[in-house]
Amino acid sequence: MAVAALAASAEGSFSVSGRKILDAGGNEFMMRGVNYSWCWQRGHEYSVIPAAKRIGANIIRIQLGDGQQFYRPSASELEELIALCEQHRLVAMFNTHDETGSDNVDDLRRAAAFWIDMKDVLNRHLSTVIVNISNEWYGSWGNADAWADGYKTVIPMMRQAGLRNMLVVDCAGYGQWPRSMFLKGDEVARADELHNTVLSMHLYQDAAGTDRDVRSHIDNAQSLSVPVIIGEFAYRHKGCDVAWQTILDYSLEKRMGWLGWSWTGNGGGAEECDMFASYDDSQYLPNGTCIVKGRGGIAETSEECLVFSEPLPGPDGPDPEPIPGPDGWDVAGEHVLSPAGNPAGWNNVIEIPATVFASATRASMVRLHADCDGGAEIQLAVKTADESADWTQLNDYDRIDGPTYDLAVEDVPRLSEGMHPDTFLERAKARGLYVKGRGFRLNRVQLLNPRTDDLTGIASDIADDTEPAIIHDLQGRRVEHMQPGGIYIVRRGARVTKVVR
């Protein structure tokens, strides 16, 4: 029976194998991530999540609320958060934050009830979503039994209700009393009939004030039968130093996953925990520099979860096939958004990743494929040259009442204010494209260029075929054929012409 339960937990989801975390393909996954407090920073996910990918994170831990203290998301809002993480190839770990520091088991039951309410959404994303049941439930130190009993109560509730995602349990003492899990962690893990629970410790000054503390806790974690991660840490916390470099060094040596706290917006004396000065990655603060760029940090040790090496299936099957461009147009770049959809609202910005434009040498038109409600309006933008949080609007809000919306780059109103079409492509390549508006759900984005079938259709001055054409690309390499979206130098005898394909 135990073998059957283990197989059930591994099918299509993250799973536990001894002290290793495996992805849905059976590959070891070592977390290197960040924390983002969505429940009191809503609306910034369209900046933070893409930025987390840019700095190299492979997972993001997102704080939600169950409605007791913090904002409780709807099922559709949770689906949108997951879709955004999947779009940017990030594993999502969610927790509820309302119970932080509470010793009341009823509070923990409320958190479990929230996840049960959301089980249909969560079970659709077993390969990309992990559930951290509650942030730092059981704030007291010294009573491992009470901490364990709480989780031994709610984990069976969640499993019997049908929730199948990997679970994460924070240790007692606001996450800073690892001894609670050293004493009772295996008992907590055994309460999971799917054998798919991971333990977590938070390393600040109380648990990680010295190198010796860090090494001792990580060594003791190795004695447990299940994986342990570091769910939070920072280089300093409430005016106290943390042995952050030892956390990075020794966790790498022992292959332990971790997530830094936190992106931005900390208060109550924890301001030094901010990794960045705003909701993007344009200005590193000392904590971000340590965690991302430090020896053994995200930039050096993070590896993307291998579940993203293949297209993620939607709820109704695999991603849709490519759609050709309209008559007379070639598709130079394309991005298909999650089947869960990306609804746009006035306060939501959908980012189209720069990879869509990476290979293009020309951009003539952007086509958006969308499902529209009545009164839908749309606007496109690119980042400003200084890569700040601001952007340059490409067009005023425009009505969209059909399945597609086209914006010809040469007709962009803002070009009259000094923005050249090449500048649009440069910025889109550097930072991506941004879509704003209301009343539509974005499905696909295409970069289009006019189709040219032969040399005579490209330029009349090279139509004379009395001389053979010698074609070079802009790197000086001779080629036999010109590809859509390319720029070439064509020589016929003494005549040399620059051709935009």
Please state, in angstroms and rounded to a whole number, the distance separating the CA atoms of residues 322 and 304: 25
Query: The tokens 């005016």 sit on which residue?
Result: 239
Query: The tokens 């309460």 sit on which residue?
Result: 191
Give the start-end residues of each E strand in 384-460.
391-393, 398-399, 404-408, 433-450
Give the start-end residues of each E strand in 160-280.
167-170, 197-203, 228-233, 236-237, 240-241, 258-260
Residue 52 exposure: Cα atoms within 13 Å on the Cβ side: 33
CA-nearest of 199, 113, 200 to 163 is 113
* DSSP for residue 148: H
Query: The tokens 């993620």 sit on which residue?
Result: 312
Query: The tokens 């924890």 sit on which residue?
Result: 270
Select which of 80, 86, 99, 232 is catalytic.
232
- Would the CA dihedral through 170, 27, 85, 163 be positive or negative? negative
* Spatial contact of 431 and 466, defined as CB atoms under 8 Å apart: no
What is the b/e burial string over 358-387, where b = at least 16 CB atoms within 10 angstroms of the residue's CB?
Answer: eebbbbbbbbbbbebeeebbbbbbbbeeee
Select which of 79, 80, 99, 136 is catalytic.
136
459: amino acid identity, one letter: A
* Spatial contact of 19 and 247, defined as CB atoms under 8 Å apart: no
* Spatial contact of 412 and 424, defined as CB atoms under 8 Å apart: yes
Please state, in angstroms and rounded to a whole number, the distance separating the CA atoms of residues 194 and 155: 10
* Spatial contact of 137 and 99, defined as CB atoms under 8 Å apart: yes
- Both tokens of 409, joined, read 């780059």
* Spatial contact of 298 and 35, defined as CB atoms under 8 Å apart: no
Please confirm, yes or no, whether 232 is among the known catalytic residues: yes
Please confirm, yes or no, whether 136 is among the known catalytic residues: yes
3-state secondary structure 276-321: ECCCCCCCECHHHHHHHHCCCCHHHHCCCCHHHHCCCCECCECCCC
* Spatial contact of 382 and 434, defined as CB atoms under 8 Å apart: yes
What is the b/e burial string over 71-89, where b = at least 16 CB atoms within 10 angstroms of the residue's CB?
Answer: ebbeeebbbbbbbbbbbbb
Which residues are tagged catalytic?
136, 232
